[in-house]
Structure 1
């Protein structure tokens, strides 16, 4: 019998705990596929955040390290400097990276630490009950902004990729989405490129992935994919913001 699909060996057999319609599982899968295709599963070290993906160490079939809230880039820096031949990555949500961990990610990029960051942006705090995040859209309702986010009192949503692209040490910066199959394929391509840049020793790379949170958005899973496309992408445009110059 011809095998047309099999689970990537970079993921364990443990069932995901994520809510129905959450796209963390999709992102886990494509990260795992990339690690397997590059042949680096056995020498990879991931750093799990605080947030919905806090249990990532149960799912990735490689060495994993738990970091305090927002501190994954600092932990990854230490691991990569001690084990420079290993492939090191952080997997972080918007509350973890874009709020309490903003300084950590900015300075890791400024130093051009040679690890890869997968940044999952679902525009809300997921694990802790749906509070407003730095990435929450204007008018979007959350448990701490029941009338919708107001730019006058809370500022506009933070565009992490655009900010990171201003830092010279950020060698690769790209924003992708996983709301449909064509974009999942593009997301995988970007994530693979980010890891290849690490393997080539070129410096820091980050891929921002627009994701869904049906539970805290308060809409059905299928509607959440459409909501992402119609509301998040116009504010968070997809594309590459920074990549290594040819020959360097």
Structure 2
């Protein structure tokens, strides 16, 4: 029987495969071939769980800030969640908001400093449960800021409890048998709601569970920033992230779980883009552009 089947393989090397001995230190220590860490991330270590998708999403954001040449103009406003650890790891201006209030704080910053690139970083608990009022009114006013929501469907920092974005059937600390519509109601698809508001100029949803989705999400983030830089109004990107700890799944299974559970309800894609004249998923764009 092989190790893959769940039992230990026979002792001794497998002659048909090259074997890397692990019972002693290697003769040559591993060396760093190239440092791919974005310059704006000045501390490589973080305390987030193995398999968490939030560090990937944070990296995507700062990479786009660098590529757009906005390093000296960027101001981030953080909500409260696991991702808040990065408020000390980024070499840009960062403000800390109270629970759910980041869009309002970002509004004040942008109105005082219209020459800056202002964006919020929030989780689904922070934005949908605690700050739904803030983000909806910010979008409705057409504030020229960008909001990012890292959606893993749980309150990760407080132990993995249900949020308003938790999908039906998803197990959390307080929905051990899965979210039930009759008892807990239905998940809020925030990107879809925001896309219906006339003040929203760009609305999209991405994911970071594989290389293809990360590449697509990078493009969504960059387009959201461009929307702000062009002065077109409110831009919003929801990013589906992994939380194996809060999902009760193994780290290696988390990317697949994201596809099967979250992405089946919160479908990735561009919901609205006045720059390209696209329609929303649920109706025509009544602000600018034409429905495609």
| Structure 2 partner of 1:130 | 160
5+ long unaligned stretches in structure 1: none
Mapped partners of 1:29, 1:203: distance in 2: 24
| Structure 1 partner of 2:127 | 97
SS in 2 for 1:141: coil
1:199 and 2:229 correspond? yes
Deviations 1:58-86 (A, max 9, x none): 12210000000000001000000001001
Which segment drifts farther, 48-57 or 186-195?
48-57
| Structure with a larger share of its residues in helix | 1
| Structure 1 partner of 2:53 | 23
What TM-score comes out, normalization by structure 1 length?
Answer: 0.96
Mapped partners of 2:198, 2:157: distance in 1: 33
Residue 128 (structure 1) shift: 0.4
Mapped partners of 1:246, 1:52: distance in 2: 34
SS in 2 for 1:41: coil
Deviations 1:20-55 (A, max 9, x none): 000111111111110000111111110011111122
Mapped partners of 1:13, 1:124: distance in 2: 26
1:61 and 2:91 correspond? yes
Deviations 1:105-138 (A, max 9, x none): 0000001111111111001110001111111111
Mapped partners of 1:244, 1:60: distance in 2: 31
What TM-score comes out, normalization by structure 2 length?
Answer: 0.81
- 1:1-248 pair list within 5 angstroms: 6-246=36-276
Deviations 1:207-240 (A, max 9, x none): 0111110111111111010100112111111111
Mapped partners of 1:12, 1:201: distance in 2: 30
Which segment drifts farther, 102-111 or 154-163?
154-163
Mapped partners of 1:154, 1:208: distance in 2: 22
Runs of 4+ with >6 A deviation: none
SS in 1 for 2:47: coil
Greater RCO structure (CA 8 Å; 6+ sep): 1
Mapped partners of 1:6, 1:47: distance in 2: 25
SS in 1 for 2:237: strand
**Greater Rg, structure 1 or structure 2?**
2
RMSD: 1.4
